[in-house]
Amino acid sequence: MTPHLPALAAPVASGPASSFSGDFFDLLRRTGTSPFPDAAALSRAGGAPGAVTIGHSPSLSAEATTVISFHFRDGVVIAGDRRATAGHTIMYDRADKVIEIDADTVMAIAGTPATAFEMARTLAHSFQYYRRSQLQPLSLEAKVRALGRLIRENLAMTLQGVGMVVPILAAQHRPGLDAALGAGAAIPPTLYFYDALGAQFLAVDHAMSGSGSPAARSVLNYINRWSGKLARERDEREAIALALQLLEVAAETDTATGGIDRRTHIYPQVKVLTAPGGTRDVSVEEMREVLPGI
């Protein structure tokens, strides 16, 4: 299920303390509505006599598994399987793990969906809040750091053993939005991956996350090394087909990754991000066309 992004309903108090700096996370802290627990408070509670701490249990949280992304000739493709598990139990086979944050930003999640969806909602609101309060879009670098900041703010839950999210972010500058780059200047989409503490890394060729990612990464490395045609040299149609093949490889080797199910019409979720057109969803019909075997 794709999370809905409800509008902010609470009014913001007037006065110097509520000046519009464009920092949505600061606004959440000042209004006491931060979606993530305070690490210091949780630590103090955990050390108090009789306090209840959250221990890791496979039954407590459903975990999304394999997401992949890589550059192709005209942009990047981001894809994810649909299975969510809790321990060894399949909880859901239609989970949406590739989330559009705005027209030029896509987040792919591996980890706990509840936490990841909350991060996606908060991230989308922060982009909108900055654009409306500062009358300009957030820069690419700021978008990348914003997700890292959310991951760090979730550190308390990560250290407790639940709620960990290790996402991938695909983002770009839309041509003409950044005056410093000149009119019509186009920046190709970029890929970033993160660790559990919020550090971000620029992915030159590809980024993958989740329990099935080692198998998919190995196959993609083999293709780039020995096939004679790099993934970044392929057109959009070829890139979509390759993404589906990589997810099928992951599903064959990882029990927590769901493959294509023709009987129930379950297919991976695939999005394409290109400089001219922004984000585009790939339909099931298009998947069947580019990879007839499915």
Catalytic residue list: 65
Spatial separation of the C-alpha atoms in residues 75 and 141, rounded to whole Å: 18
Spatial separation of the C-alpha atoms in residues 273 and 106, rounded to whole Å: 8
Closest alpha carbon to 9 in 150, 125, 127, 118: 125
Q: What tokens does 133 get?
A: 């309060």
Spatial separation of the C-alpha atoms in residues 225 and 221, rounded to whole Å: 6
Spatial separation of the C-alpha atoms in residues 146 and 198, rounded to whole Å: 10
Please name the residue that has the structure tokens 């794709």.
2
DSSP annotation of 266 reads B
Q: How many CA atoms lie within 13 A of 45 on its CB side?
A: 12
